[in-house]
Structure 1
């Protein structure tokens, strides 16, 4: 398995782990809003990376890679908001923040 495939797997696991986190949160209005945004951004970063690996040109590769990076930053933002509004889940969130930073 190549490094691209491993990275795609990490993106996928990150998105799935974010989804599991959101499902575990208490059902407040804030968590519903933040969680929906986190699920969107965390799944989008991997999708944009996959698009970048299949880009037809260098310009497309750069654009798709930059979009993936922007989505990754957005995921970190939503994770921070969730962390600040859900004190009991900080260990799991810290792990996701760490993985999100690495990706």
Structure 2
């Protein structure tokens, strides 16, 4: 199976953005716990999208993208905690959260389409 090229590009771009945000949080805010959580889940999205490219079946493809969706939802949670605890200002949070929500929407769309095609 092959993922939609758009999801691959967006997941990589989001992963890079999360890495940079984590670096900022650790170097400037001296925040190390939540930033590691968001780093793990935020980069796992792209890793699961990449894994889905070589899925063994349609069901495996959907499963891997479903894990990416779960990671995106977890990332949304960590971003909210970082914002609510004032490590991320409103502007930064809204921007990165919107990217996360767009990834979630795209993943849901692909998963639904694949399930309907089954």
TM-score normalised per structure 1: 0.86
In structure 1, how many angstroms separate the alpha carbons of the residues matched to 2:91 and 2:10?
A: 19
In structure 2, how many angstroms separate the alpha carbons of the residues matched to 1:83 and 1:70?
A: 20
Residue 60 of structure 1 corresponds to which residue in structure 2?
A: 60
Extract unaligned runs of 5+ from structure 2: 104-118
Q: Which has the higher helix share?
A: 1
Q: Which runs of 4+ in 1 moved over 3 A?
A: none
Task: Report the count of equivalent residues.
Answer: 98
Alpha-carbon RMSD across the aligned residues, in angstroms, is: 1.6
Deviation, structure 1 residue 87 = 5.7
The superposition leaves residues 18-66 of structure 1 with CA deviations (integer Å, 9 ceiling, x where unpaired) of 1211222200xxx311100101101101111111122110121121011
TM-score normalised per structure 2: 0.76
Deviation, structure 1 residue 88 = 5.6
Extract unaligned runs of 5+ from structure 1: none
Deviation, structure 1 residue 7 = 1.9
